């Protein structure tokens, strides 16, 4: 039994617990939304990378650089959220 399940049994009717549970649910959805966004962003960067490397389109190279920076920032946000969730479960 997870720590969260034990808490839920003890505080099932407590409004503050319901708010915490809702926040954890929202955090899960937010992180998954960011993960999906990251996959979509990577797909768009792939198109521009193909244009840059195979067609010599320098404007596509600029978009690749920007996209890679956006991926880096989004990955860091996801890392921070995962760490926060992992530490709050202890």
Q: What is the DSSP secondary structure assignment for residue 12, as one 8-state letter?
A: T
pTM value is: 0.64
Write the CB contacts of 58 (distance below 8 Å, at least 6 apart in sequence). 52
Exposure on the CB side of residue 51, measured as CA atoms within 13 A: 15
What token pair was written down for 59?
């404007």
Higher local confidence (pLDDT), 62 or 82:
62
Angle in degrees, CA 46, 53, 48, rounded to 5: 30
Domains of the chain, residue spans: 27-88
Determine the pLDDT at residue 4: 45
pLDDT, tens digit, 9 for 90 and up, residues 5-18:
444 444 444 444 44
């Amino acid at each position: 039994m997870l720590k969260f399940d034990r808490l839920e049994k003890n505080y099932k009717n407590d409004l503050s617990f319901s708010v915490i549970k809702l926040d954890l649910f929202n955090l899960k959805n937010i992180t998954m939304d960011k993960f999906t966004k990251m996959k979509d962003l990577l797909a768009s960067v792939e198109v521009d990378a193909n244009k840059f490397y195979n067609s010599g389109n320098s404007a596509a190279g600029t978009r690749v650089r920007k996209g890679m920076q956006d991926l880096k920032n989004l990955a860091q946000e996801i890392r921070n959220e995962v760490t926060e969730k992992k530490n709050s479960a202890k």
